[in-house]
Amino acid sequence: MAKVLLFGPLRDIAGWREKDVRANTVAELKAALTAEDAALGAALNGKGVQVAIDQRIMRNDTGLRANAEVAFLPPMSGG
Amino acid sequence: MTIALQDTPFDPGVLLAFFSRGRTETGAIVTFTGIARADGGKSEVLELEAYPGFTEGEIRRIAEEARVRFSLHDLMVIHRVGKIKPGAPIVFVATAAGHRREAFEAADFLMDYLKSKAPFWKKEHGPAGEKWIEPTERDHADVARWDG
A15: left (phi over 0), alpha (psi -120 to 50) or beta: left
A48 CB near a chain B CB, below 8 Å?
A: no
- Judged by CB atoms closer than 8 Å, whether chains meet at A71 and B120 is answered as no
> What distance in Å separates the CA atoms of residue B38 and residue B10, rounded to the nearest whole number?
19
Residue B96: count other Cβ atoms within 10 Å of its Cβ. Answer: 22
pLDDT score for B88:
97
Q: How many helices (H) and strands (E) does chain A have?
A: 3, 5
Q: In chain B, how many H helices and how many E strands? A: 4, 8
Q: Where are the alpha helices (DSSP H) in chain B?
A: 12-20, 54-69, 100-116, 137-144
Interface test with B, best of A56, A57, A69, A77 (most B CBs within 10 A): A77
Query: pLDDT tens digit string along A16-74?
Result: 999 999 999 999 999 999 999 999 999 999 988 999 999 999 988 878 999 999 999 99
Give the Å distances, CA to CA, from A18 to A5, B54, B81, B88: 5, 16, 18, 29
Please tell me the predicted confidence (pLDDT) of residue B137: 85
pLDDT of res. B18: 97
Contact A77 B133 (CB under 8 A): yes
Taking residue B4's Cβ as centre, other Cβ atoms within 10 Å add up to 12
- What lies within 8 Å, CB to CB, of B21 at 6+ separation is none
**Whether the Cβ atoms of residue A5 and residue B52 lie closer than 8 Å to each other:** no
Q: How many structural domains does chain B have?
A: 1
The residue ranges of chain B whose pLDDT is under 50 are none
Chain A residue closest in CA terms to B54: A55
Neighbours of A29 (CB within 10 A): 22
Q: Which of B51, B79, B116 sits opposite A71 (nearest CB)?
A: B51
User: Does A78 contact B49 at a Cβ distance shorter than 8 Å?
Assistant: no
Residue from the list A5, A52, A79 with its beta carbon closest to the beta carbon of B120: A79
Instruction: Give helix B100-116 / helix B54-69 axis angle, nearest 10°.
Output: 150
User: How is chain A split into domains, by residue range?
Assistant: 2-73
How many Å lie between the alpha carbon of B119 and the closest alpha carbon of chain A? Answer: 5
In the predicted structure, residue A12 carries a pLDDT above the cut 90: yes
Q: Select from B17, B1, B146, B15 the least CA-distant residue to B80.
A: B15
Q: Do B118 and A78 touch (CB under 8 A)?
A: yes
pLDDT of residue A40: 97
CATH number for the region A2-73 comes to 3.10.20.30
Nearest-CB residue to A76 (from B34, B91, B118): B118
d(CA B92, CA A42): 37
Interchain proximity A78–B34, CB inside 8 Å: no
Give the list of residues 6+ apart from residue B100 with CB closer than 8 angstroms, or none. Answer: B27, B28, B30
What interface predicted TM-score (ipTM) does this complex get? 0.92
A15–B contact, CB cutoff 8 A: no
Q: Is A49 on the interface with B (CB under 8 A)?
A: no
CATH number of the domain to which B134 belongs: 3.90.1170.40
Which domain range does residue B20 map to?
2-144
Cα separation, A19 vs A36, in Å, equals 12
